[in-house]
Amino acid sequence: MSGQTSDYKKLTLSGNLQEDIALFREIFKKDSVLRVKQIKSRNTYNIDAALIYMDGMINSEQLNDSVIRPLLTVETPSVCDSIAEYIEKQVLFARDAKRLKNVDKIIEGLLYGEAVLLIDTSEEAVNIDAKGWRTRGISEPQDERVLQGPREGFDEAALLNLAMIRRKLQTPDLCIEMQRLGRRTATLVYICYLGSLADEKVIAEVKRRISKIDIDGVLDSNYITEQIRDSKYSLFKTCGSTERPDVVAAKLLEGRVAIVVDGTPVVVTVPYIFSESFQSDEDYYLNFLVSSTGRILRYICFFIAVSIPAVFIALTSFHNELLPTTLAIAMEKLRGGVPFSPFTECLIMITVFEILRETGVRMQQGLGHALSIVGGLVVGQAAVEARIISTPMLIVIALSGICGLTVPRLRGAVFYLRIIFVLLGSLLGLYGLIAGMAVVLMHIISLSSFGTDYTVSLRRASLQSLKDSIWRAPWEFMKKRPLFNRNIIRQRGKEK
């Protein structure tokens, strides 16, 4: 056998306690955290049983109070079909217990933090919910901090995450369906949606794509995202992700579907549209004028981040006549003595900036800030004074890099588009840049996410659809949900 749970699908308990204990010891013969505690009642009615569990995954106090103590003081049983049924229904104080015969199901529960009670003369075991592993606790996500709004974030425990979503959406309309993924990890995956709002076609498509995943293990939600997303090789993401329960609740209220994966705080949401990349979590917690200004700035910063290095190279290499004479002369003086061409100079600066950014992210927080200061000020100033890099190029790359940080959801797209546009601008000037932008625009328009147009709010533009895309209108004007929703009416009242 390969050691997978499915290998024991046809195997059942024998009813002989010692044989069943030996079976589980053999299955987990190289697992040093397996614990077996044999129990024998002290009263006239003798019950010979054994409690099996994984150390560190159960609540010991709960196990003592709800299982071991009742078994040691059990009275003469009333009429029941089996001793396992009697123990499950009349002896145990556990919050959840179920009788199982198949060894594979018993193992699944054991590996997920359940305790298994084997009983002599019974071909059924009682799986007892006694989970008690430690969690990281609720804290604000580091990458999704807000100035104003809820401060809680998801944990690695899926059940806790579902409880946080349920606390935000206190309605029986919230549907949560479970699947297991990973031949060896058997990771629990929960599909969440609001039954009256989510499109049934989207729900069915999510289930279909997830059911087709066949992989050894699922350790993070990105294992799933990469296999279910549309246009897998596109620079633009077609599945959303967040660590905030308030964001997930807001997405579910718009008719989206959330995928919660046990073992990771990152929750996937679909469908995902282009305008979501420019939305901030706190846009709906601040005044709509402030939020709208910030959102418009993000669109502008995205355009600057991907295009300004290419525009600078195109103007200095091919279209000097478009620059004011004074500016052209000043830039030429500043470039004097620099040994590299504008294209090479630009690539060097982009690479250095990305190295500094990546190093700052990976290092400890204090060291990361120090590195940013040293890299940005000391190294940059030294490079300019040594005539390795020109001052205008340093300013352009710094502006492009700073603007790119305002749209973290498009970080990968910004980097690659910046390189592509720089290459086109150095070869064909502004004509190449414009052609490249046209191709990218056509690509964005052609994308879809689970049957929803990626640019649905722009392609099928209306005054209502634009109220939460390019800017954020006051809540009293946002009467409808996104166009892909089955029930688009968000609030009643006079349409505006």
Burial label for 158, CB within 10 Å (0-12, 13-18, 19+), is buried
Residue 2 has pLDDT above 70, yes or no: no
Domain that holds residue 210: 142-272
Q: Return all residues near 179 (Cβ < 8 A) that are at least 6 apart.
A: 188, 189, 190, 191, 207, 210, 211
Q: Look at residue 268 and give its three-state secondary structure.
A: strand
Structure tokens at 250: 């807001």
pLDDT category, 495, cuts 50, 70, 90? very low
Residue 168 has pLDDT above 80, yes or no: yes
Domain co-membership, 251 together with 311: no
- Residue 465 domain-assigned (yes or no): no
Q: Which of 277 and 478 is assigned the larger pLDDT?
A: 277
- Residue 384 domain-assigned (yes or no): yes
- Residue 478 domain-assigned (yes or no): no
Domain co-membership, 328 together with 423: yes
Domain co-membership, 240 together with 95: no
Which of 75-79, 127-131, 492-496 comes out lowest in average pLDDT? 492-496
pLDDT category, 112, cuts 50, 70, 90? confident
Domain co-membership, 336 together with 258: no
Peptide bond into 77 cis (omega under 30): no
- Residue 495 domain-assigned (yes or no): no
Domain co-membership, 298 together with 384: yes
Q: Is the pTM value of this prediction over 0.75?
A: yes
Over residues 285-296, the mean pLDDT reads 86
What percent of the chain shows pLDDT beyond 70?
A: 86
Distance, CA of 376 to CA of 384 (rounded, Å) = 12
Q: Look at residue 413 and give its three-state secondary structure.
A: helix
Choose from 259-268, 288-297, 327-336 the range with maximum mean pLDDT.
259-268
- Residue 182 domain-assigned (yes or no): yes
Q: Render 458-473 in DSSP notation, one character per residue.
A: HHT--TTGGGBTTSB-
Domain boundary among the residues 97, 129, 161 is at 129
Domain co-membership, 445 together with 345: yes
Domain co-membership, 221 together with 292: no
Domain co-membership, 299 together with 426: yes
Domain tally, the chain: 3
Residue 1 has pLDDT above 50, yes or no: no
Domain co-membership, 438 together with 310: yes
Domain co-membership, 253 together with 339: no
- Residue 464 domain-assigned (yes or no): no
- Residue 362 domain-assigned (yes or no): yes
- Residue 469 domain-assigned (yes or no): no
Calculate the alpha carbon distances from 226 to 143, 222, 233, 241, 268 in Å. 21, 6, 9, 12, 11
pLDDT value for 482: 66
HSE of 373 in the Cβ direction (CA atoms, 13 Å)?
6
Domain co-membership, 66 together with 164: no
Nearest to 251, CA basis, from 407, 452, 496, 463: 452
Domain co-membership, 77 together with 39: yes
